Amino acid sequence: MYSYSKYCYYSLKVVLGLIFITVLFFFYEEKFNLLNKFLDITNTKDIIYSNSIDHPQYDLIIDLQSAFIRNAKNVGPTVVNISKVKEIISTNLEEFSSNNKYNYGWLVLKKWIDNNFRGKQFISESIGSGIIINNNGYILTNYHVIKNHKKILIRLSDSRDFFARIIGFDSNTDLAVLKINSFRNLPHATFQTSHNINVGQWVMAIGSPYGLEGSVSVGIISGMGKSNSGMTIDENFIQTDASINPGNSGGPLIDLNGNIIGLNTTAVGVGSGFGFAIPITRVLRIVEELIDNGYVERGWLGIGVQTMTPALFTALDVTNIKNGILINMVGPNTPAEMGGMKQGDIVTQFDGKYVHDTTSFQRMVYESQVGKIVALNIIRGGSKKIIHIEIGRLTS
C-alpha cells in the first residue's frame, strides 16, 4: 500500500512538471524563435544553402568576378608578346659554302640571290611581354627582355606580327621603349596616375608567362617601396603575390578599375609566391624621355658610397649622428671632386633632406636637375661641414 501511494505521488509530480514545461514553451515560443535566428546568424558556418545564389555575399563575389573579366577584355588587347628572332640559314647555302670547288664570287652571288629573291626564314622564341602605349606604335617593356637581341618580333593579341626597333632604354630602371609601324589602328593602354595604391588591394597581372600569350593572374599588393633587391640600381618596387613568371616581364599590373598601376618586372625566384612591378608614375616619366631623346638624363656626382653601420660610426668616432652614408671613392674630374668632396666623408643631408641609406641617396642624386648646385651636409674628421656641388649629367 505504501509503495503504491509513493508511485502515484511521483507520477503526479512528473505529469505536473510536463504540464508546466508545456505552458512555458507556448508562453515563450516567440523568444525561442528569436534566439534560434540569432544562433543561425552567428553560426553561418553551419548553414547549408540549397543554391549558391542564396548566399548573402553572392552578389559581391559576382561583382569581383565581373571586374576581372572586364579588365581582361579591356586591357588584354593592349598587351603584346615579345620574341627574339634568329634567321635560318639555308641548308643548300651551307653545303654550297663548304664546297671548295666554287669560287668566292659565285658564293657571294648565291647568298645575294637567296636573301633578296627566295625570302628569309626565321625562328622565334618568346622572351617577354610589352604594352602598346599609344596609336603611334610605341611599346613599353623591360630592358632585360630585349637586352642583347638584335631582331625583335612583336605579336599582337589578334596574332599580327611586326618587327620592332629599339627607340631607347634605361638599364638603371630596367625600362625600354620599342616601336612598330602599322597602317591599322592599334589598341593602346590609357594611364591614370592620380589613383591611390594601397597594400592589400586586388591587382591583376597580364602577360605571356612561358610564352602563353594573354595569360591573366590575380593577387593583392603585398608591399610598397621595396628596394635592395639587386635587380636594378634605381629601385622602388610594388610587391605583389599575383603570379609573375618568366615571360610576364614587361606586362601590366592593373587594379580592379582597369588602371595600369605598374610594369611587371620580375619574380623573386620561381615558386617564391611574389614578384615586383615598377610603379607606373615612375615608368611614364622615364618613357617620355626615352621617346623624346632615346636616353634618360640623370643627376651624377661620380662617387662610390656605402651605408653606415653602428660599427662604422664607432670606428670613425662618430657617436652623435645616427644616419648617413660613407663616401668610399671619389672619381677624378667628377662633380664630387670639383666640389671638394673627399673619400671618408659622411653625408648626412642632401639638398636639405636627411640621408638614411645608399638607395635613398642615389635616388636623390638621380632626380636632381643637371646643373643645379646642391648643399651637402657632411662630417669630415669629426667636424660638421657644408659643401656645395654642381650636379653633373649621367645618361642611360
Residues identified as active-site = 144, 174, 249
In the chain, alpha helices (H): 2-27, 29-42, 58-75, 91-98, 104-116, 143-146, 280-293, 310-315, 335-338, 358-366
3-state secondary structure of 187: coil
| Cell 504540464 sits on residue | 19
Q: Is the CB of residue 295 less than 8 Å from the CB of residue 168?
A: yes
Closest Cα to residue 276, out of 343, 231, 310, 307?
Answer: 231
Q: Is the CB of residue 182 less than 8 Å from the CB of residue 191?
A: no
Residue 172 neighbours by CB distance under 10 Å: 18
C-alpha 16, offset from chain centre: 76
Angle between helices 104-116 and 91-98 (to 10 degrees): 170
d(CA 130, CA 184): 19
Angle between helices 2-27 and 29-42 (to 10 degrees): 70
Q: Is 197 exposed, middle or buried (0-12, 13-18, 19+ CB in 10 A)?
A: middle
d(CA 54, CA 58): 7
Closest Cα to residue 243, out of 213, 207, 214, 278?
Answer: 207
The residues near 212 (Cβ < 8 Å, ≥ 6 apart) are 247
The pair phi, psi for residue 381, each rounded to 5°, is 60, 30
Residue 96 neighbours by CB distance under 10 Å: 15
Sign of CA dihedral 313, 314, 317, 321: positive
In 294-394, alpha helices (H): 310-315, 335-338, 358-366
